[in-house]
């Protein structure tokens, strides 16, 4: 399972799921694998910063 990591404190949370699959990053948003027309949300924030997908 993918994780989002906070660049400030290192906190890790699970990547949000949409339509049964993990969402992916497009620009500054998280987008459903079905496309942005299905589901999109701003990147999760932690410590006032956008979290990053852990590789």
Contacts to Zn ion from residues 8-27, by CB under 5 A: 8-9, 11, 18-19
Q: Hunting for tokens 């906190």 — which residue is that?
A: 11
**Residues forming beta bridges with residue 49, ordered by sequence position:** 46
Pairwise CA distance, residues 27 & 22, whole Å = 16
- Among 13, 14, 36, 38, interactor with Zn ion by CB under 5 A: 38
Q: What is the smallest separation between the CB atom of 55 and Zn ion, expressed in angstroms?
A: 18
Token code pair at residue 17: 């799921």
Binding residues (CB under 5 A) for Zn ion: these are 6, 8-9, 11, 18-19, 32, 34, 38-39, 46-47
């Amino acid at each position: 399972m993918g994780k989002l990591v906070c660049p400030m404190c290192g906190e890790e949370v699970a990547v949000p799921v949409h339509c049964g699959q993990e969402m992916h990053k497009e620009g500054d948003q998280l987008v459903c694998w079905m496309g942005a027309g299905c589901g999109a949300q701003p990147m999760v924030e932690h410590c006032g910063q956008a979290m990053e997908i852990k590789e």
